[in-house]
Structure 1
Amino acid sequence: MLSLEQLDLSHNNLSGNIPKSLEALKYLTYLDISFNDLHGEVPSCGPFRNCSSKSFMSNEGLCGDPVYGLRSCPTSRQKRRKPIIAAVVSLLGITLLILIITALAIYAIGRCQRKYLVENGVDFAPVTTLRVSYYEILQATEGGTLNNGRDVVVKVFNLQQQNAFKSFDVECEVLRSLRHRDLCKVISTCSNPDFKALVLEYMSNGSLGQWLYSDDYVLDILQKINIMTDLVYAFKYLHYGYSMPIVHCDLKLSNVLLDEDLVAHLSDFGIDKLLGEGESNAYTTTLGTLGYIAPEYGLEGSVSIRCDIYSFGIMLMEVFTRMKPSDEKFSGDLNLELDK
């Protein structure tokens, strides 16, 4: 066998790799393995140095030296990248599937929950407005409790900031007329030329951000679905349940407060935009929070209900993946933040 001088294996329907052991046939002067179904790298030593491109014709799976008319073989780095790319694609597919299933679950649970609330006559009206003096607010800021023993949150506006007066007026205008259990209720307001504050209902479980990123709290999948469903109801009311659409413009985890039953309440309406009748867009120079801002809002100042929908999608992903929009994993084309 080692003395073999000629070997013609053409047109034999051979498959598999070319054995490297053929490099040991030092007397072989003629080799023809054309018109087969071979694949893999063609050896480059021994008798293969004397071969021409005709020796390997019609073997689409072969690779090797371009002198033989073959395509180049992939490098070891390229071989390693293939499983990595496959893993990344699989991970993205699984994440997308989870988000789709979650969205469908939120929709289904939302319909059932809404039907239950309607059938059982749940009252969405806000708490009766109380008269609260500046002195009471001053006392409440020490411990967060009014004279009647009621726990509250006092939001004091920094009048030194730009648009502080406008922000206070907008928030008062929006919240005084809204009627929904998933919106943070305003108990009272206090306003004079030097001091402006809102007295809000106290939420014993803090913000969604505290629960999501703290080691002391744990939210299971059903609790997360219920919280996001509450926000769907809140935005449905803001966008379609009021006399004119209301765009929140600054949806983020810290603006979602949780009561003792972990029911979500949307808060912080200081940069809300009221769209007039027939309007689908408005323009503003006030920005929300980087990472949650819709591109048309951040770059052009264009405001529509789609801005809230975009922010809700970002927050939905954050809640179920526990990854912030500013996470370093989102880099390059995956960057969720707008350029500052």
Structure 2
Amino acid sequence: MAPIFCLFLVLITEFSLATAQQRNSIISLGSSLSPASSNSFWSSGSGQFAFGFYPNGDGFSIGIWYATIAPKTVIWTAKRDDPPFHRDSKLLLGDDGRLVLRQGEDPEITIAGGNQTGSSASMLDTGNFVLYNSRSEIVWQSFNAPTDTFLPRQKLRQFAEPKELFSSVSKDDHSTGKFRILMQEDGYLAQYPADSPNLVEYGYWDSGIHGAGNNVTLNFDDKGQLYLLNTSGNIKNLYDGGDVSDKLMYRMTVDADGIFRVYSYGLNRSDDDWTVEWSSSSNKCLPKGLCGQNQYCSLMNQEAVCTCLPGFVLIDEGQKDLGCNRNYVRNGNVSFNFDELDNVAWLENSYSTLHNKSKFACKDECLKDYDCEVVLYKDEKCMKQKLPLKFGRFQLNDQVTTLVKVGSREFKKEKQSKVLIVSVAVLSVAFTVLAISGVLIYKYRVKGYKKLLNGGNDELIEEFILRSFTYGELEQATNGFGEVLGKGASGTVFKGILSNSKRAVAVKRLETVVAEGEREFLNEMKVIGRTHHKNLVKLLGYCHDGTNRLLVYEFMSNGSLADVLFKSETKPRWEERVRIAVNVARGILYLHEECETQIIHCDIKPQNILMDERHCAKVADFGLSKLMNPNQTRTYTGVRGTRGYVAPEWHMNLAITVKADVFSFGIMLLEIICCRRSLDPDFAEAEVILADWVFHCFDSDRLDKLVQDEKVDKSKLERMVRVGIWCIQDDPSLRPSMKKVVLMLEGTVDIPTPPSPTSFISSI
């Protein structure tokens, strides 16, 4: 019964269409329109639709629009890619039944008709403009030649015209745009870039299989229902439509952004604009080709933003989606390195693929190959690419790294002589300064080393070497370990004063260490001692005296970040909190990527961030994880780190990488934003777990709840929150590197909308 019923509905629709056509006024042969006169369009019987001239730039176009809705919504355009027509143009329904355009002495342009002789025309209340023959049969209709919009009663067919719709360039420019939707012969309704073949790698959306069979059509009815139907009566609903009692008008449009949407407009309601009822996707970066060559699309505040590859600049500053070109000239004088992009998908068009390669080896192979301009690296595969790259989109689950070969700019020849002269002058001055400096440095170094040999100056020792202390020296410096500054999993910290320099220091006594030899301990001291960054607490020396293991650090006079956030009567101002977050991120970035030996901290938390006399935040306790016994560092369920800050991979037997520190930093960043602990039972039940509460506020667009009465710029607050949510993703591969974190916090890169942090765990 279902197939019979569906066919019956189709017949009823066709009958209703024929009946409606008879109710509309007839346009007879010889009738004409002109944009220069008051007679510039023909209306449908009810006045709802109009066909004729409408303003377009400095001229006019011919199309169909809703005559009762402002602003003008154009649903069909004739000769959409032609230049606008002149003001003195004339549209004429000629004696042969063709609708033609005349512009002065220019040749006539056929707008409609041509294959069969017409005798009249009509603008129907369905939005369809038709030409009739003498027997009142339709010989041409706009419904069979759609542009970017479908109206109720239109069909997209599998084996007959029309088969596809093309988007417009923009709301105001109805020329053919970048995207199309196609009713394919395999029964799929699919979307592609406008100028691409119908191949899987070019498609970006489809309706899915519905047991299609033959002669599948896309149908759109008066209730706004959008569905696929075949001759067997099988239906696949895309949108169920609205309530007919609402008296809504519907249209379906392939918009300029590549997404096709069903819109409604209420006849009996106060709406002053079209409402989106359904869309093929909510991801505005989904359409392939939205951004031009050598660009990738990412979401910023739910809007698509096109960004150039590193080392590339916009082709046209006025058209930010047109694409990008290199900002340097390739020749033998250019040196190259690589910039990396994570989770950006491209149209894969490799000319060479190498297997079982490390990322370093992949870069090396590309440097040796002149044709290699970009490499896509994934699963130890090295896929060499030539430019341009196409269809770039930020895509979380892609997990591919884009390695971009970047070169320095070439100096122009006319500047080379000037550069040479300036360079010689600078070098001459530099050699003179070096000579004088060398003498002074030699003088003071010799003097300094003499003092060292004579058991002298502690301050000079600290500038040149990592000092080895005896246990007795540190016992004396701390007055018998009398003043405790703090106690943690790794040991107790005491305040001390170095005897000669009178410099205040912090002495940490490691209470349980790995039973290892002196050489191993000294090697770890050398690694920590070689770290030098303004956002790291400086290690001044150590004690390896029998079973005693002590570390001597610079003294941080303003306590820990935990004191600042959780114990202070007045919380730090927003600008101060942002500065603290950026400083900590820079310190961790140094440990991960910039120091001689990579260090994974394993215990990032506010208690391990210390504040100096200028309130500059510095990371403490780095490099200690290898020194501690497992039962000392695993302070929560057998996991290293501190409860509330440990990354999920500790619990899942996954490899521990620098991304574990990124997770801990993300939790701490949320604490910095909100000035509260990550786990606090004193809050309401929904707010106890800070990470969950922050994502709820972000997802519901109520970020103001996180800072309460504090006045904070909403865009800056959202940027900080987005960074925090990306950092605490359960899937380590989704978390950004600390380099990316620093760039995002500084506001120099776009931050896509993060997913729910627990989506990875919940899917396992």
TM category, shorter: 0.5 to 0.7
Equivalent of 1:190, from 543, 554, 567? 543
What is the root-mean-square deviation in Å for CA atoms of aligned residues? 3.5
Give secondary structure in 2 for the equivalent of 1:212. Answer: helix
Q: CA deviation at 1:133?
A: 2.7
Q: 1:315 to 1:164 in 2, by over 3 A?
A: farther
Could you say which residue in structure 2 is the equivalent of 1:86? none
State the one-letter code of the partner of 1:334.
D
State the one-letter code of the partner of 1:197.
L
State the one-letter code of the partner of 1:222.
E
Could you say which residue in structure 2 is the equivalent of 1:334? 692
Number of aligned residue pairs: give it: 207
Sequence identity (%): 31
Q: CA deviation at 1:210?
A: 0.7
Cα deviations across residues 91-142 of structure 1 (Å, max 9, x unaligned)?
Answer: xxxxxx99xxxxxxxxxxxxxxxxxxxxxxxxxxx84434533222002223
Could you say which residue in structure 2 is the equivalent of 1:136? 473
Q: 1:220 to 1:202 in 2, by over 3 A?
A: same
Work out whether residues 292 and 311 of structure 1, in 8 Å CA contact, stay in contact via their aligned partners in 2. Answer: yes
Could you say which residue in structure 1 is the equivalent of 2:607? 254
Cα deviations across residues 190-237 of structure 1 (Å, max 9, x unaligned)?
Answer: 102221101110000010001111134541111111111111211221
Q: 1:188 to 1:139 in 2, by over 3 A?
A: same
Q: 1:127 to 1:266 in 2, by over 3 A?
A: farther
Work out whether residues 127 and 185 of structure 1, in 8 Å CA contact, stay in contact via their aligned partners in 2. Answer: no
1:180-259 to structure 2, matched below 5 A, reads 180-216=533-569, 218-259=571-612
Could you say which residue in structure 1 is the equivalent of 2:498? 146
Q: 1:164 to 1:286 in 2, by over 3 A?
A: farther
Work out whether residues 677 and 690 of structure 2, in 8 Å CA contact, stay in contact via their aligned partners in 1. Answer: no
Cα deviations across residues 137-177 of structure 1 (Å, max 9, x unaligned)?
Answer: 0022235111021100000111xx36376996675243122
Q: CA deviation at 1:330?
A: 3.4
Q: 1:228 to 1:172 in 2, by over 3 A?
A: same
Q: 1:333 to 1:324 in 2, by over 3 A?
A: closer
Which structure ranks higher in relative contact order (CA pairs < 8 Å, sequence separation ≥ 6)?
1
Q: 1:58 to 1:226 in 2, by over 3 A?
A: closer
How far apart in 2 are the matches of 1:190 and 1:332?
40
Work out whether residues 248 and 273 of structure 1, in 8 Å CA contact, stay in contact via their aligned partners in 2. Answer: no
State the one-letter code of the partner of 1:221.
W
How far apart in 1 are the matches of 2:680 and 2:503?
39
How far apart in 2 are the matches of 1:151 and 1:187?
11
How far apart in 2 are the matches of 1:164 and 1:257?
29
Q: CA deviation at 1:301?
A: 5.7
State the one-letter code of the partner of 2:546.
P
Could you say which residue in structure 1 is the equivalent of 2:508? 155
How far apart in 1 are the matches of 2:689 and 2:575?
30
1:319 partnered with 2:639: no
Q: 1:297 to 1:323 in 2, by over 3 A?
A: same
Give secondary structure in 2 for the equivalent of 1:190. Answer: strand
1:1-340 to structure 2, matched below 5 A, reads 127-128=463-464, 129-142=466-479, 144-148=496-500, 149-158=502-511, 161=512, 163=514, 172-216=525-569, 218-272=571-625, 287-300=640-653, 302-328=655-681, 329-330=687-688, 334=692
Work out whether residues 249 and 273 of structure 1, in 8 Å CA contact, stay in contact via their aligned partners in 2. Answer: no
Work out whether residues 187 and 199 of structure 1, in 8 Å CA contact, stay in contact via their aligned partners in 2. Answer: yes
Q: 1:289 to 1:132 in 2, by over 3 A?
A: same
Work out whether residues 130 and 187 of structure 1, in 8 Å CA contact, stay in contact via their aligned partners in 2. Answer: yes
State the one-letter code of the partner of 1:153.
A
Give secondary structure in 2 for the equivalent of 1:300. Answer: coil
State the one-letter code of the partner of 1:330.
V
How far apart in 1 are the matches of 2:574 and 2:691?
29
Structure 2, unmatched stretches of 5+, are: 1-242, 247-299, 302-461, 480-494, 628-637, 682-686, 694-727, 731-757, 759-764
How far apart in 2 are the matches of 1:219 and 1:127?
33
Work out whether residues 591 and 599 of structure 2, in 8 Å CA contact, stay in contact via their aligned partners in 1. Answer: yes
State the one-letter code of the partner of 1:183.
L
Cα deviations across residues 29-82 of structure 1 (Å, max 9, x unaligned)?
Answer: xxxxxxxxxxxxxxxxxxxxxxxxxxxx9879xxxxxxxxxxxxxxxxxxxxxx
Work out whether residues 246 and 273 of structure 1, in 8 Å CA contact, stay in contact via their aligned partners in 2. Answer: no
How far apart in 1 are the matches of 2:513 and 2:651?
18
Work out whether residues 645 and 667 of structure 2, in 8 Å CA contact, stay in contact via their aligned partners in 1. Answer: yes
Cα deviations across residues 245-264 of structure 1 (Å, max 9, x unaligned)?
Answer: 32111100010011001111
Q: CA deviation at 1:184?
A: 1.0
Work out whether residues 144 and 152 of structure 1, in 8 Å CA contact, stay in contact via their aligned partners in 2. Answer: yes
State the one-letter code of the partner of 1:147.
S
State the one-letter code of the partner of 2:574.
I
Give secondary structure in 1 for the equivalent of 2:688. Answer: coil
TM-score if structure 2 supplies the norm length? 0.25
State the one-letter code of the partner of 2:568.
D
Q: 1:243 to 1:332 in 2, by over 3 A?
A: closer
State the one-letter code of the partner of 2:548.
F
Work out whether residues 170 and 270 of structure 1, in 8 Å CA contact, stay in contact via their aligned partners in 2. Answer: no
Q: 1:203 to 1:301 in 2, by over 3 A?
A: farther
How far apart in 2 are the matches of 1:315 and 1:218?
15
Work out whether residues 571 and 675 of structure 2, in 8 Å CA contact, stay in contact via their aligned partners in 1. Answer: no
- Structure with more helix by fraction: 1
Q: 1:174 to 1:309 in 2, by over 3 A?
A: same
State the one-letter code of the partner of 1:184.
V
How far apart in 1 are the matches of 2:626 and 2:598?
8
